Structure formats: structure tokens, C-alpha cells
Amino acid sequence: MRLALAVLASGRGSNLQAILDACARPEFPARVVVVVSDRERAPALERARAAGVEALWIDPKDFADREAFDAVLERELTARGVGLVCSAGFMRILSPVYVRAFAGRALNIHPSLLPSFPGLHAQRQALDHGAKVAGATVHFVDEGMDSGPIVLQAAVPVEPGDTEETLAARILVQEHRMYPEAIRLFAEGRLRIEGRRVIVTPEAGR
């Protein structure tokens, strides 16, 4: 049986699209069962519908606090038998309620080489800092901000004359390749968390 994925996205959803495209391949060991957004008009929800995947909007305004929102999020995901939750541009901080419920079963992607430049505007931070190398990271979600154990990273050069947009576009190419790869490794049972480290088991027969 293919692993049931949920994707959490607030915006454009290009990483979601890369995941949907990967899942459309018959040999890919996971499928997206629901896409959840905190924004009613998120293009990510449109992408889900276009792929025939359930698109679920949970309105933060309906909840008194973060914990109440996250409790409903957890309930909705659990009801759908979700085995892995992938945040992809989900612009909400997730509370310990959620993080504990999905410990070791929640991934995030961040457009920097963590632990450098966590938080918002990572590409801008890298440029402002004068970094020569930038990149992206897929990591497990923990209770901190972009701080969980690292699964995969990819580096790209910062070119002279880069703007936030040109650098973001170069990083995004790597994001779209790397997120499906991390999901595949998880689905194949090849990721083991040991403290801060994620051990990737080689493919059988290698």
C-alpha cells in the first residue's frame, strides 16, 4: 500500500505540484490524500483540485488560538489515515500539540542551508549576509523554527548580481527535486532519526 501523504500549504504550491507530479508516477511509493491550507484562495488548493485530490481549507478565524486550530488539523489528518505530513510553504507556526502528534512523521522544506537563515525571507537573508553558497533543506519538524533533524540538503551558488527572485528560482529547482526524494526515502522506511542525525539506509541490493 502506498503511504498516505498530507501536504500543508499556504500559497503558490510549486512544491506541492512537484509532489503531486511524483505521486502520479506508478512506481512512486506515496500518494497525496489531502492538501490543507489556512488560506481559502491559496493556489495550492487549486492545484490539489486539478489533480483530483481533496482540498481542505481550515480557517484560522474559526479558532480561539493556535492549539485549537492544530487540534482540528490533527483530527482531520488522523481521520484520513495520513502517515506523513509535508509542510510546503505553510505559513503558520505549528504548536507542540501538532508536533507531538506527528513526531517523526512530519517534514518541512526550507530555502536555505540550515541551520543558516531560518525563518522568513531566507534567500534575502543569504544575500544580505553575503553568502557565496545558498540552498535548500528538507528536515523533520520539531518544536523549534526550522530546527529539526536534517534529511536532505542541496547547495546552489549565489551568483554576482543575484536578486532575491533569481536566487529563489535557482533554489526552487533543487526543492522540487529534493522534496519528492525525501518522501520516497521515508515511504521506503529508509530514514532513521538518531538524535540530531537522520541516517539514510542504502537502497536494498546496493
Q: Which of 99, 175, 180, 198 binds ligand GRF (CB under 6 A)?
A: 175
C-alpha cell read off for 132: 557565496
Footprint (CB under 6 A) of ligand GRF, residues 136-165: none
C-alpha cell read off for 19: 509532489
180: amino acid identity, one letter: P
Give the count of residues interacting with ligand GRF (CB under 6 A): 13
Least separation in angstroms between residue 124's CB and ligand GRF is 12
Q: Which among 11-19, 50-58, 69-77, 155-163 is the span making contact with ligand GRF, rule CB under 6 A? A: 11-19
- CA 18, CA 96: separation in Å to the nearest integer? 28
Give residue for cell 506523513: 84
Q: Which among 61-69, 108-116, 158-166, 181-189 is the span making contact with ligand GRF, rule CB under 6 A? A: 108-116
What is the chain's percent helix, strand, coil content, to nearest 5? 35, 25, 40
Q: Which among 9-17, 72-80, 124-132, 184-192 is the span making contact with ligand GRF, rule CB under 6 A? A: 9-17
In the complex with ligand GRF, the residue whose CB is nearer, 11 or 149, is 11
Q: Which of 3, 9, 101, 106 binds ligand GRF (CB under 6 A)?
A: 9
Asked if residues 60 and 40 have their Cβ atoms less than 8 Å apart, the reply is: no
In the complex with ligand GRF, the residue whose CB is nearer, 50 or 199, is 50
Residue 13 sits in the site that holds ligand GRF (CB under 6 A) = yes
Footprint (CB under 6 A) of ligand GRF, residues 44-103: 88-89
Q: Which of 3, 6, 15, 140 binds ligand GRF (CB under 6 A)?
A: 15
CB-count burial class (<10 Å; 0-12, 13-18, 19+) for 98: buried
3-class DSSP assignment, residue 174: helix
CA-wise closest residue to 98 among 85, 111, 83, 115? 85
Residue 112 sits in the site that holds ligand GRF (CB under 6 A) = no
C-alpha cell read off for 29: 511509493
